[in-house]
């Protein structure tokens, strides 16, 4: 909306008053609109002193007209959002709750208090388009892979029912993580309350992915020593639930805690170092790197940790502010690395499953695997 449209709908006397106001962004929504409205009303007070003698009757009406006009503009804004006629916003005019990364200078969606408008925005180009699609497509990919895996003939498993539940935990974790994530990025601009609820789901999803990834890996790696397997499972569940609990605090989602967030989830993933060392010490390095799939696990850790570092340090947009607004900013790269890491983990786990199938259900005396 231009300042000219702004004037067009008001009485001509009001247009004169408005032209004395400092120029402001004509389509500021929600609370900003409210602020602009209050500012206009305040400044109206000063003018009233000057013009009292000549136009006292009209000036008494002016604040009311201003408020009415601002209401009209707000309604018009809501209609525009509803029709999908919103335009992209620069970072500095966003309300505080939408200000997350100041290296992403332009291309933001405005606050859009309509789920319909948020979901329609999936098909438009803005700062969240890449974040939404990376995890929406990732989610569909793991959903299809999971369905194919669950329908594999039982003859290709040693204990089909048990193994399908165990591997199903990985797929459940991955699908929950990726779907909470694309949903969060879709409705992030709805309103402060909605964004807060979905950001908590988004963080919890990462903990679900990590917990779900541990289940089949521990199951196959410690197939012949169920006691440590059980203890490690309990430990990862306790740690995962703790991470989910911390994610429910409002401060956890704030930009200042970006590094802490990355640290919490990297720490949760790195708790896998303990069972890994246990495995390497009891089985030997050679067996760990061949049958134990340590190479794939190492690659998975590398992908996740690189993603978390890019996320925490906001690389590359920190070095090119305004150049990575739409594509290739840190959050998008982090999303791609999460999908890649999850797939590498699945590959390692399915190799472990294949080894178990060829070895049969029996266990050698001195082997955890
Ligand atoms: Zn995300």
Task: Give distance in angstroms: CA of 136 to centre of ligand 1.
Answer: 11
The model's confidence at residue 301, banded by pLDDT at 50, 70 and 90, is: very high
What are the residue ranges spanned by the domains of the chain?
Answer: 3-85, 115-359
Q: What sign does the CA torsion over 257, 258, 261, 262 have? A: negative
| CA 258 – ligand 1 centroid, Å | 12
Cα 29 to Cα 58: distance, rounded to the nearest angstrom:
28
pLDDT at position 60 is 65
Q: 76 C-alpha vs ligand 1 centroid, how far in Å?
A: 31
| 124-172: pLDDT as tens digits | 999 999 999 999 999 999 999 999 999 999 998 999 999 999 999 999 9
The per-residue pLDDT for 40 is 35
- The pLDDT of residue 1 is above 90: no
The verdict on whether residue 185 carries a ligand-binding annotation is yes
**CA 184 to centroid of ligand 1, rounded, Å:** 8
329 is in an annotated binding site: no
Backbone angles phi, psi at 158, to 5 degrees: -75, -50
Distance (angstroms) between ligand 1 centre and the Cα of 331 equals: 6
- 141: helix, coil or strand? helix
Tell me the C-alpha to C-alpha distance, in Å, between residue 235 and each of 15, 39, 65, 134.
Answer: 68, 56, 64, 31
Fold of 115-359: Rhopdopsin 7-helix transmembrane proteins (1.20.1070)
Q: Over 50: is that where the pLDDT of 19 sits?
A: no
- Which range is least confidently modeled, 18-22, 28-32, 150-154, 343-347? 18-22
Q: How many whole angstroms from 70 Cα to the centroid of ligand 1?
A: 35
What's the CA gap between 128 and 332, in Å, rounded? 9
Give CA–CA dist 8/79, Å, rounded. 18
Percent of the chain with pLDDT over 90: 73
Residue 83: its pLDDT value, please?
Answer: 66
Mean of per-residue pLDDT scores for the chain:
84
State yes or no: pLDDT of 14 exceeds 80.
no
- Decide which of 13 and 99 is more confident: 99
In this prediction, residue 82 carries a pLDDT of 66
User: What pLDDT, in 10s, does the model give residues 109-125?
Assistant: 999 999 999 999 999 99
* Res. 43 pLDDT band, cuts 50 70 90: very low
Predicted pLDDT at 72: 76
**Position with higher pLDDT, 205 vs 78:** 205
At a CB cut-off of 8 Å and minimum separation 6, what does 266 contact? Answer: 304, 305, 308
Whether the CB-CB separation of 202 and 181 falls below 8 Å is answered with yes
Residue 185 alpha carbon to ligand 1 centre in Å: 7
Neighbouring-strand partners of residue 89: 108
Give the other-Cβ count within 10 Å of 171's Cβ. 21
pLDDT at 351 over 50: yes
pLDDT surpasses 50 at 286: yes
Q: Is the pLDDT reported for residue 16 higher than 70?
A: no
At 77, the pLDDT band (50, 70, 90 cuts) reads: low
* Ligand 1 centroid – CA 29 distance (Å): 25
- Tell me the pLDDT band of 84, cut-offs 50, 70 and 90: low
More confident residue, 295 or 9: 295
Ion ligand 1: residues, CB < 5 A:
181
C-alpha 180 to ligand 1 mean position (Å): 9
pLDDT score at 24: 38
Residue 368 is predicted with a pLDDT of 75
Give start and end residues of each alpha helix (H) in 188-293.
192-221, 226-247, 258-270, 273-283, 285-289
Residue 354 has pLDDT above 70, yes or no: yes
- Residue 335 assigned ligand-binding role: yes
How many angstroms separate the Cα of 333 from the Cα of each of 124, 208, 253, 321, 366? 19, 20, 19, 16, 43
Kindly give, in sequence order, each residue whose CB lies less than 8 Å from that of residue 332, ignoring residues fewer than 6 positions away.
130, 131, 134
Given a cut of 50, is residue 7 above it in pLDDT? no
Q: What is the pLDDT of residue 356?
A: 92
Q: Rounded to the nearest whole angstrom, what is the distance from the C-alpha of residue 135 to the centroid of ligand 1?
A: 8
What's the pLDDT band for 59 if we cut at 50, 70, 90? low
Least confident of 44-48, 156-160, 218-222: 44-48
Spatial separation of the C-alpha atoms in residues 262 and 247, rounded to whole Å:
12
How far is ligand 1, taken at its centre, from the CA of residue 328, in Å?
Answer: 13
């Amino acid at each position: 909306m231009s300042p000219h449209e702004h004037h067009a709908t008001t009485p001509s006397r009001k247009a004169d008053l408005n032209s004395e106001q400092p120029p402001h962004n004509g389509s500021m929504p929600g609370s900003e609109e409210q602020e602009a409205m209050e500012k206009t009303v305040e400044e109206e007070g000063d003018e009233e002193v000057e013009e009292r003698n000549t136009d006292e009757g009209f000036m008494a009406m002016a604040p009311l007209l201003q408020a009415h006009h601002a209401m009209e503009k707000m309604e018009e804004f809501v209609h525009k959002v509803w029709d999908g006629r919103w335009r992209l916003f620069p970072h500095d005019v966003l309300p505080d709750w939408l200000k997350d990364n100041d290296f992403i200078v332009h291309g933001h969606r405005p606050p859009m208090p309509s789920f319909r408008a948020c979901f329609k925005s999936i098909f438009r180009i803005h700062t969240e388009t890449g974040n939404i699609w990376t995890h929406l497509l990732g989610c569909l990919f793991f959903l299809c892979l999971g369905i194919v895996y669950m329908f594999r003939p039982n003859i290709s498993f040693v204990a089909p029912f048990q193994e399908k539940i165990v591997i199903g935990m990985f797929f459940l974790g991955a699908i929950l993580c990726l779907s909470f994530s694309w949903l969060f990025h879709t409705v992030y601009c709805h309103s402060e309350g909605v964004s807060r609820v979905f950001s908590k789901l988004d963080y919890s999803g990462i903990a679900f992915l990590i917990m779900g990834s541990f289940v089949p890996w521990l199951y196959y790696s410690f197939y012949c020593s169920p006691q440590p397997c059980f203890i490690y499972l309990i430990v990862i569940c306790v740690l995962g639930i703790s991470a989910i609990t911390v994610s429910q605090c409002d401060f956890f989602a704030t930009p200042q805690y970006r590094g802490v967030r990355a640290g919490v989830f990297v720490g949760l993933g790195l708790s896998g170092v303990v069972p890994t060392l246990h495995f390497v010490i009891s089985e030997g390095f050679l067996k760990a790197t061949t049958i134990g799939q340590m190479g794939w696990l190492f690659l998975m850790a590398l992908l996740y940790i690189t993603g978390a570092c890019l996320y925490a340090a906001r690389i590359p947009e920190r070095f090119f502010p305004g150049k990575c607004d739409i594509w290739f900013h840190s959050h998008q790269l982090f999303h791609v690395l999460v999908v890649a890491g999850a797939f590498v983990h699945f590959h390692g786990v399915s190799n472990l499953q294949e080894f178990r199938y060829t070895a049969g259900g029996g266990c050698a005396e001195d082997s955890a695997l």
